[in-house]
Structure 1
Amino acid sequence: MDADLVRGQRALKRRRITGIASATVATALVIGVGWSVLPSGTTSGAPAATVTKKPIVGDPDKRKPPVIPATAVPLVANTKAFPGVITCDLIPKGWVVRIVYASPIAQQQDLSDPNLNPKKFHNATYTLTVRQTELMDEGEGLTVDKYSTPWTKLPKVRAGKYQAVASGVPGSPNGRQEVYIKPGKSNKIVGVSNHAYNLAWDMDTLLRFAGSCHYK
C-alpha cells in the first residue's frame, strides 16, 4: 500500500506540470462546443455567450510569503539528530525540525523558524522540507519523483560528497528550489525542497545543506 501511495504522489507531481496546459485546452474545447451548437442559419445578432468556469490553477491561498531578509540565514553545525530516518549535519541557524508525515517507505520533515507566526503565511512559503523517497521503475527505468527521465541520464551537480539533481532558478532566494541526492548504493533518495522566502538562500547554499543530509 505504501508503495502504491508513493507512486500516486509521484504521478500527481507529474500531472501538475501539465495541469495548466490541460486546463487551457479544456476551456477552449468547451467554448468551441458552445459555438458549434448554434443554428447555422443565424444571420443577425450576436451568438449567445457560453459561460465557462475559470479553471483553478495552483494554490488559492492568497496569504503573502515572509519578507526576504537582506542577509541569508547562515548554516551551522547540527548538534542534535533530526527525528525520523534522515538527519542532516547542518541546519539553518535557530531553525527547528518536525516530522509531518511518516510511513515505512516515505517520510517528510519540515524545518522552519520557530519565531515566525505560521498563521500569517502559507506553509509552502516558509518551510524547508526534507523527504525520504526512492528510485522506482515505472516503465522508464529507475526514476525519482517528478522526473520521467531515468536517474542515470539526468544532469548532475555536486552536493557535498554526493551527486545530486537540482532544479530551480540559480540565485533565486524565494523558494521552489529542489535537490535530490543519492547518499548510498541503495535506491534510497533524499529530497530537499526549499520554499522558504525567509531563508534568502541561493542554490549553492541549498546544495551545501542537502549535501549534509543522509539516512541514519
Structure 2
Amino acid sequence: MPQPDRILLVVSILEGRNFPNQPSCQLTVDAKFDGEILTTDPVEFTSTPDINQELAWELDKKTFQLHKLQRSVIKCNAYSTTSSGQRENLGYFIIDIRPLNTSQKIRWHHLLQTKYPKLKPEFSICAYIEDDQTTRSGSATSKISKTPSNTAISSTTTSTRSKHLQPILLEDKGYYQLGPDVSSAEIFSLSITIRSAKNLIHSKIL
C-alpha cells in the first residue's frame, strides 16, 4: 500500500503465447520506467510461458502527472537465458501510461522487433495505478522500486501465487528450496526459531 499522495504504477505480466518451446532456457522480462529497470524472476521458456508476476514503481502523484504530460512510456524487453548464463533479447513492447488508472484491464501486447516474427509472440499484461485508497488484490510476485523525483531507491518485496512453486527438501543442505535452481535467481533465506515448548508429554509420537 503506497503512502498518502503517492501511487504505485503496477505492471502485471501474466503469461505469454506463440513462443517457441525452449526447454533449455529461462525467460525473463525487463521493464524500464523513469530510468529504473525492474526484472521478473526467471520462468521456464515454453510456448506459453507462465510468468504471473508484478513489477511496480512508487512515486508521488505530481511526478506521475508530469510523466503523463511528457508522454513517458514503460518499455519492456523479453530475454532468454541459457544454462550457461548467455542472455538474448527476444523483442520488446511499449506500455503508454497516459490512459492508465485504477481499473485493471488485461491486454495482449505483441513483441516488436522480435526474432520470431512468423510466430508473433505476445504477452498478457495488466497495467494500472494503485493509490492510497486502493487495496492491492492477489499475491503475485512484486518488485517495488521507490523513485522520488530526484533520487531512485530500489527495494524488493516478494510473495508468490505461481502454481509451479513447490517446496523441494534438500536434505544434504538442511533446508527447503522454492523456485528454480538457476544462477540468475535472487536467493532469500527464511529462518524459523522455536524458543520454547510445553505440554510435550501429552503429545503422541506417530
What's the TM-score once normalised by structure 2's chain length?
Answer: 0.24
- Greater helix share, structure number: 1
Structure of greater relative contact order (alpha carbons < 8 Å, 6+ residues apart):
2
- Greater strand share, structure number: 2
What's the TM-score once normalised by structure 1's chain length?
Answer: 0.23
Larger Rg: 1
